[in-house]
Chains A and B, each alone.
Chain A
């Protein structure tokens, strides 16, 4: 078991004026771990995700990532080119709405190939073969490689977004409500796919969602947020089955059992 955390989050705080986005959030994420962050709308889970992924600058705190080249570095102190390079190599970000994470006017193959070309791939045949391989992995028919994502169903678009993100072999994936807005049957397929990809690629993942079923299936660990603060964290099944905090108990008991 690796003792070096892949991501160490320390005291992340973000205020919007008098309103607290998230306050004093700290945790370590180890290689191969999937962590869920749950909470209702406005609990600060998305703010936290955006602070960690470098989309929003927090007011205080550190986001220390174990980079492949230089070892642990605070990504908030990195220059913008360094952070953007990280974002298209070691990191990936899966948006809730596929159209935020895809280029709708570019073919499926081009969408998957973009990250490869962005890091210097210059052989068309290899890029295309790699794109086709990834479409297969996310269960999209390779015949659709030259079709635009606007002709895809919602579930296919989301799978394409995942392929586009994983093609450069990232080590950390941020996911923002990855199954939100999809039909239940499509969700199950996507969850299964994400689970096997996370396992096979030894990915670490941070999954923000309000869907407890999603975290139960995807996440090893769970952090519960309320009003910008972490109220409880631990093993996913422990937090869900034996919640200690009042808010978590309320959250868990509010779910309809099927």
Chain B
């Protein structure tokens, strides 16, 4: 651990400010709390919101995991993990079950989360109403007055154009029957895991300066129509490496001839299954 930095990079006042925002977010699930987002030593879009939230909740005894679209080994995941190794000296892991703080970009781990764990989401655009209503003053008013008809207009547009709700990620949810929330760009396959989750879920948007949260066991419902109910869909394949049929899959191009395989997006989950002896059709 580098001695030149305060624990977890941010100074204590900043962390307190962020913790206050987090506590308010937990007290009002789904509500976007403004916070004074700091400049971080990485560009916006690389998880500055998530990193600040992680820094604010992290303690010396924590075990930290970072996933980027389910993978522990992308540039982004590796550099954020090493950032906290250097600035906080915390233990890191790739095992979902061992981690106490998991920062994620665009996925929820396949392995069910437990009480005591914190899942920190990196959020690009926190406002679910933004694409239909560009005025922040108006979207805030819509949230405060629970005027969410517009959210269904978006889903209506999907069905009218594609015959079904084509929104596949960042699928809007209603939290405890009150706030409509953007769950960050996770695939809608992950939406059912948001609700009734034993872990704390925190959402940080650095550029947009918003934090919101789901305390454990919160009711989260994906918006839909009676005649077009929500469906948590995934590619209709089994993982080529571990054979799992119930995990979210990435499509990978394997050669110049257009050959492709489907593999678990959650690398840790896939590796554990392979260690346990499961094998898919393309397993080495």
**A positions within 8 Å CB-CB of B:** 80-81, 84, 88, 103, 105-107, 109-110, 113-119, 122-125, 127-128, 145-146
B228 close to A124 (CB less than 8 A): yes
CA distance in complex: A103, B156 (Å): 14
Interface of A (DSSP majority class): helix
Which partner residue on chain B sits nearest A108 by CB separation? B160
| Sampled A-B contacts (13; CB under 8 Å) | A81-B145, A106-B157, A113-B153, A114-B149, A114-B150, A114-B153, A115-B149, A117-B149, A117-B150, A118-B149, A124-B156, A125-B227, A146-B161
A146 close to B160 (CB less than 8 A): yes
Contact with A84, one of B147, B150, B225 (Cβ below 8 angstroms): B147
Instruction: Kindly provide the distance from the CB of A25 to the nearest chain B CB, expressed in whole angstroms.
Output: 28
A123 close to B226 (CB less than 8 A): yes
CA distance in complex: A145, B159 (Å): 13
Interface size class of B (residues with CB under 8 A): 10 to 19
Q: Does B132 contact A (CB under 8 A)?
A: yes
A107 close to B157 (CB less than 8 A): yes
A103 close to B225 (CB less than 8 A): no
CA distance in complex: A123, B159 (Å): 12
CA distance in complex: A134, B22 (Å): 46
Which partner residue on chain B sits nearest A116 by CB separation? B149
A105 close to B132 (CB less than 8 A): yes
* Residues on the A chain within 8 Å of B226, using CB: 122-124
**B positions within 8 Å CB-CB of A:** 132, 145, 147-150, 152-153, 156-157, 159-161, 224-228
Instruction: Kindly provide the distance from the CB of B227 to the nearest chain A CB, expressed in whole angstroms.
Output: 5
Contact with B156, one of A81, A88, A117 (Cβ below 8 angstroms): A117
* Residues on the A chain within 8 Å of B132, using CB: 103, 105-106
User: With A124-B225, A124-B227 given, is the CB distance from A84 to B156 under 8 Å?
Assistant: no
CA distance in complex: A116, B147 (Å): 12
B156 close to A127 (CB less than 8 A): yes
Instruction: Kindly provide the distance from the CB of B281 to the nearest chain A CB, expressed in whole angstroms.
Output: 39
Contact with B160, one of A114, A123, A128 (Cβ below 8 angstroms): A128
Instruction: Kindly provide the distance from the CB of B82 to the nearest chain A CB, expressed in whole angstroms.
Output: 42
CA distance in complex: A188, B244 (Å): 66
* Residues on the B chain within 8 Å of A119, using CB: 149
B225 close to A110 (CB less than 8 A): no
Instruction: Kindly provide the distance from the CB of A130 to the nearest chain B CB, expressed in whole angstroms.
Output: 12
Contact with A109, one of B148, B150, B156 (Cβ below 8 angstroms): B156
CA distance in complex: A127, B156 (Å): 9
Instruction: Kindly provide the distance from the CB of A91 to the nearest chain B CB, expressed in whole angstroms.
Output: 15
Further pairs besides A113-B156, A146-B161: 13, Cβ < 8 Å: A81-B145, A84-B147, A103-B132, A106-B153, A110-B156, A114-B149, A114-B150, A115-B149, A117-B152, A117-B153, A118-B150, A127-B225, A146-B160
Instruction: Kindly provide the distance from the CB of B157 to the nearest chain A CB, expressed in whole angstroms.
Output: 5
B225 close to A123 (CB less than 8 A): yes
B157 close to A110 (CB less than 8 A): yes
A107 close to B160 (CB less than 8 A): yes
* Residues on the B chain within 8 Å of A127, using CB: 156, 225
A124 close to B159 (CB less than 8 A): yes
Instruction: Kindly provide the distance from the CB of B197 to the nearest chain A CB, expressed in whole angstroms.
Output: 25
* Residues on the B chain within 8 Å of A115, using CB: 149
